Structure 1
Amino acid sequence: MAEQPFIICENLVKIYKVADLEVVALQGIDLTIHSGEMLALVGPSGSGKSTLMNILGGLDTPTAGRVSVGEYNLLEMTRREQVLYRRRQVGFVWQQTARNLLPYLSAQENVELPMALDGVPARERRERARALLEQVGLGGRLKHRPDRLSGGEQQRVAIAVAMANQPRLLLADEPTGEVDSEAAEQIFKTLRAFNREHGVTIIIVTHDVNVASRVDRVVGMRDGRTSTEILRRRAEDGQIVGADEYAIVDRVGRLQLPQAYLEKLGIAERARLKLREDHVGVYPDKQDGQA
């Protein structure tokens, strides 16, 4: 029997009301993610990435559809259950370091705080916080406050904070967006280490091409839908040896071609289709194409 996906989104819709207007942020997303995956969500601003992230993190509620994370049905949770879900099941790392850390607490105190809120005994909190900071390479910065840490170091402390209550899901929203390339590399390696050593499922929203090119699965979003997916293949030594790119077909048969393909072929409003024996041809409307 196939393993049940850890995250299931079915026909997921989110509509925001702004004054007298309705803004559709998600338009019937279907997506499954298995436990232990490390996945990147990519797409232009306004494509729905952050909205999807907020729903999976229990920070927002969808308008329609189904969404579950493990045994949690995110549409049916009470407010109290949402609080406990966010506290115990999900870790967050935000682009802005000010959202991740309290400025008047040391690195160790920041990591201990989520555990204190969850009632973890003081001795266990201290030991776990120190171990996490050692793991992110900041064992010598335990007593440093955020203003004495570099941007990259702050983000690595934020990862330790996110992992403090041993979540099954870690959501990282542009974690490398405000640091230089060297710090970004350290942040990515830290996330990868937690994924491999602890089995935590990690979803990264990113515009960083370097990050997106190094995860095994990249889901592209456009106009509130999943549009493309890249699956990378690895050799036994872990090196990437190839990749396949797919267009996502939704439940009513629609698919979105990659923007680069449309621009290359000059396809704007419509395209001609031709059904062949083993494929479907897509051609610009302005000219005849040959299979």
Structure 2
Amino acid sequence: MTAVSAHDVFCLYSTPRGHVAALRGLTLDVAAGERVVVHGPNGSGKTTLLRVLTGERAPSAGAVRVCGVDLGGADARARARLRGRRLGLVDQHHGSTLRAELTVRDNVALQLRITGVRPTAARRRAGELLDRLGLGALADRHPTGLSGGESQRVAVCAAIAHGPELILADEPTGELDRASAEAVYDLLAACATDTGAALVVVSHDADAARVADRVVRIRDGRLSEEWAPDGAESLVVDDRGWVRLPEPLRHHTGVTTRVRAAAGAGGIVLTGASPAAVPAARAALSGQSSVRGPADPAGSGPGLAALASDGLAARMSRVVVRLVGREVLSGHDLDVPLGELTVVRGRSGSGKSTLLRVLAGLVRPDAGDVTVAGVDLRGLDRAGLAALRRAHLAFVGQSAALVETLSVAENLTFAAQVRAARADGADDRLAELGLAALRDRPVGVLSGGERQRAAVARAFCARPAIAVLDEPTSRQDEANAERVVSALRAAAAAGTAVVVATHDPLLVDAADRTLTLT
């Protein structure tokens, strides 16, 4: 039996400026009980593929069958029944899948209750899953009191509690530390084994292959490569003869825009027709990969010179925060120097996001002192805190809060106007983060990784004195994660105080100073 059969699938998104093709003839089959990990760069169509497989998004062309259901001929009720009883979906935006009015245990038990399981049995099964991810102590709390990593793991439990036939997971470990990520992969694999379910995991994390029977890569809306975790990669040729060459292979061999194909001994030989382009292409590729990019000499943020004579943009002393009856931060200190990249690291639930929100004036501490731009935050009301952020500080949370009706470039211009700053460097920020080709595209059709980079670009377009970012590389492929790190390093070198919470070793390695929460 085949769990997924998607053949020659196209998916177009309509925008005011025309159509955007997210899938361009993709073909993918997944056998019952098979575990497949899907890799691919940001914007390649991975999340759109999952939306098509759940019946949430109808393909523009092609045939799709999931668990024996022909989605092309299924009505809304049949698609809803498929999602509710036979699929388990771990959404990229995990926070939106948890109901705030229910406890953690009841959130996990909800899908079981929908399928007809009695309350006591459903809650018992929920407790068992929570225990397997080390979340048993959170069972009686509500989602609003969880960290991002904790809510992500709860969402995984909720998605698989009812024993689905097919588990679809979109970046299930993007905001987790390595130990928590491994526990999530093991739980997904164990659930698939227990029920005989097929598993499709979309991830940038190379370690996701540890639970895979097969790994595939999507590029430009088509399947391009596949391999077994312990085997060599092979290119995929679709029904119409399309084959996609990997970027490193193209640049290394000189195959850039045209190739000559000839029959060889037992194969096809491709010869690059434009070898002269290799040096320039290699130089461009190495320039994109630099972690410590050149400083922008004109990059002094607003009010940098007036912030503090000791070179500190912000300082936190003996900060304590209690949320929902528990102490999230306990007596923490942090100095944030101008012109440095400061990284806050620690296990999921250690208080990283809370610390950043205290620094940005979005959470009031229960005790301790917080000074930002030379101002004691205790003396500011809500309007005063907003004015301080507008003048000196940019904040990028785990969810990119962009204006959906505006294009990427318009979001940057709007942010600069709110700060009464010039946005003449917006195109430079977009180019720095690999978004130049998307500048006029509405943010509503961007991938999760593209949205995240657009939020980073928006944060820096007005050259803030202090930039606070929560997990800014969690949805990025390797090349774009390097772009983000390079942009943060360049901003710090230009004088901005950059503070980042992260699990990403790439960011930790690039930091000037590190604070580890336990």
For this structure pair, what is the TM-score category when the shorter chain's length is used for normalisation? 0.7 to 0.9
C-alpha deviation, 1:82, in angstroms: 1.3
**How many angstroms does 1:255 deviate by?**
0.6
Q: TM-score, normalised by structure 2?
A: 0.50
What's the secondary structure of 1:167's corresponding residue?
A: coil
Larger deviation, residues 125-134 vs 275-284: 125-134
Trace 1:221-232 onto structure 2 (pairs within 5 A): 221-232=218-229
Deviations 1:81-124 (A, max 9, x none): 11111111111112333123223322211012223334433233
Where in structure 2 are the equivalents of 1:244-263 lying within 5 Å?
A: 244-263=232-251
Alignment of 1:67-216 (within 5 A): 67-212=64-209, 215-216=212-213
SS of residue paired to 2:111: helix
2:261 corresponds, among 259, 268, 273, to 273
- Residues 164 and 197 in structure 2, CA contact (< 8 A), matched pair in contact too: yes
**Which has the bigger relative contact order, CA under 8 A and spacing at least 6?**
1
**Does residue 1:7 correspond to 2:4, yes or no?**
yes
In the aligned structure 1, how far is the partner of 2:41 from the partner of 2:162? 32
Q: Does 1:44 align with 2:32?
A: no
Q: Tell me how far 1:147 sits from its aligned partner.
A: 4.5
Which whole-Å CA distance do the structure 2 matches of 1:213 and 1:274 have between them?
Answer: 37
Instruction: Provide the rounded CA distance (Å) in 2 between the counterparts of 1:202 and 1:262.
Output: 32
What residue number does 1:239 align with? none
Distance 1:32 1:198 in 2: 20
Mapped partners of 2:29, 2:70: distance in 1: 14
Report the equivalent of 1:56: 53
Residue 172 of structure 1, CA deviation: 0.9
Q: 227, 235, 252: which one pairs with 1:264?
A: 252
**Which residue in the other structure is 1:284 paired with?**
272
- The two structures have a TM-score, normalised by structure 1, of 0.87
Q: Distance in 1 between matches of 2:234 and 2:103?
A: 45
The Cα shift of 1:248 comes to: 0.8
Q: Secondary structure at the match of 1:177?
A: coil
| Structure 2 residues not aligned, in runs of 5+ | 276-518
Q: Distance in 1 between matches of 2:46 and 2:119?
A: 37
**Alpha-carbon contact 1:47-1:221 (below 8 Å) kept:** yes
Q: Distance in 2 between matches of 1:62 and 1:286?
A: 37
1:31 CA drift (Å): 1.2
| Alpha-carbon shift at residue 149 of structure 1 (Å) | 4.2
Deviations 1:11-70 (A, max 9, x none): 111122212512221111111101111211111111111111001112111111111012
Counterpart of 1:162 in 2: which secondary structure?
helix
The CA distance in 2 between the partners of 1:153 and 1:196, in whole Å, is 24
Decide whether aligned partners of structure 1 residues 214 and 264 sit closer, same or farther in structure 2, where only a CA change above 3 A counts.
farther
Structure 1 vs Structure 2 CA RMSD: 2.0
Q: Matches of 1:147 and 1:36 in 2, distance apart?
A: 35
Distance 1:150 1:8, change over 3 A: same
> In 1, Cα distance between the equivalents of 2:86 and 2:211?
25
Task: State the alpha-carbon separation in 2 of the partners of residues 154 and 193 from structure 1.
Answer: 20
Which whole-Å CA distance do the structure 2 matches of 1:67 and 1:188 have between them? Answer: 27
3-state SS in 2 of match to 1:178: coil
Q: 1:231 offset after TM fit, Å?
A: 1.8
* Counterpart amino acid of residue 273 in structure 2: D
**1:243 aligns to 2:231 (yes or no):** yes
Q: CA deviation at 1:154?
A: 2.7
**Structure 1 residue 150 displacement after superposition:** 4.5
- Cα distance change of structure 1 residues 99 and 30 upon mapping to structure 2, 3 Å threshold: same
CA shift for structure 1 position 253: 1.1
Q: Distance in 2 between matches of 1:194 and 1:137?
A: 16
CA distance in 2, matches of 1:22, 1:12: 16
**What is the count of residue pairs matched by the alignment?**
275
1:180 to partner: Cα distance: 2.0
Q: Could you say which structure has the higher helix fraction?
A: 2
Checking the alignment, whether the CA contact within 8 Å between 1:152 and 1:187 is kept in structure 2 is no
Q: Which amino acid aligns with 2:42?
A: S
List per-residue Cα deviations over 1:126-172 (Å, max 9, x = no partner).
23323333344433432133345454433332122111322111111
Partner-residue secondary structure (3-state), 1:33: strand
User: SS where residue 244 of structure 1 aligns?
Assistant: coil
Name stretches of at least 5 consecutive residues in structure 1 with no aligned partner.
233-241
Query: Per the alignment, in what secondary structure is the counterpart of residue 243 of structure 1?
Result: coil
